[in-house]
Amino acid sequence: MKRFLTALAPAVLFALSTVAPAVAEKLPLSTLSAYLNGLSTVQAEFVQTNDDGSRSNGTVTIKRPGRIRLEYGGPGDPLVLGMGGQVAVFDPGSNEPPQRFPMSQTPLNVILARNIDLTRAKMVVSHTERNGDTIVRAQDPDHPEYGYIDLIFSNTPVLKAWIVHDESGATTEVQLQRMSLGGSVSDGVFNIRSEARRRGTPLD
């Protein structure tokens, strides 16, 4: 028996060596659209890499549709809130009200919209696979000048990261860690006006 196995081994190794490795396939856009539309409340830690190479971390809370809170770890770091079609950036070192701009003018609107359809014409710029991950580059098809966003999904699928490319050409990468789904999150944590009043910088 031992001699039989020894004799068989070279043939087995040769057969295995001729089998091509399985090619990972990118997930269909319809599958990714269904996954994103199925998300309601998401909480995660994140590591952010900025265009200049600097890094920061914090926590992100998403409540679809249309609400996001990016809370950075340091006491002097900004707070980003998105709700009611607006995004506000609070600077703790300023006595001025937060900077505000329409959420529709940010690439994040792609994943915060009520109904996400990545198969929509001219929405997806590229759709590729890399190291088992599916990478989708998406934009507002009506306003490509607002920039675009790379969404990186594992093959489960799970949203692992996003990279925002703004209208100036700068990039910001956010890698998600320790993600939890579901649960109850009050709308108050996204409320821009309430946060401005709390900081003593009420909005007009």
pLDDT, one tens digit per residue, over 24-42 is 789 999 999 999 999 999 9
pLDDT band at 141 (very low <50, low <70, confident <90, very high): confident
Residue 134: which H helix or E strand, with range? strand 133-139
Q: Exposed, middle or buried by CB within 10 Å (0-12, 13-18, 19+), for 71?
A: middle
- In the chain the domains, ranked by start, together with CATH numbers, are 24-198 (2.50.20.10)
Over the range 103-115, which residues count as b (16 or more CB within 10 Å of their CB) and which as e? beebbbbbbbbee
* Helical ranges in 18-175 per DSSP H: 29-38, 109-112
* 187: amino acid identity, one letter: D
Q: Identify the pLDDT of residue 132.
A: 94
Residue 198 has pLDDT above 50, yes or no: yes
pTM of this prediction? 0.82
pLDDT band at 17 (very low <50, low <70, confident <90, very high): very low
Q: Which two tokens stand for residue 23?
A: 């090619």
Q: Identify the pLDDT of residue 23.
A: 55
* Helical ranges in the chain per DSSP H: 2-17, 29-38, 109-112, 192-198
pLDDT, one tens digit per residue, over 105-140 is 888 888 899 999 999 988 999 999 999 999 999 998
pLDDT, one tens digit per residue, over 87-100 is 999 998 888 899 99
pLDDT band at 11 (very low <50, low <70, confident <90, very high): very low
**Smallest Cα–Cα separation from 175: which of 80, 48, 81, 74?**
48
pLDDT band at 21 (very low <50, low <70, confident <90, very high): very low
Q: Which two tokens stand for residue 59?
A: 């926590």
Q: Identify the pLDDT of residue 148.
A: 93
What is the pairing mode between strands 159-165 and 148-153? antiparallel
Which 3 state secondary structure label does DSSP give 13?
helix
**Smallest Cα–Cα separation from 149: which of 161, 130, 165?**
165
Q: Exposed, middle or buried by CB within 10 Å (0-12, 13-18, 19+), for 153?
A: buried
**Smallest Cα–Cα separation from 24: which of 126, 102, 133, 115?**
133
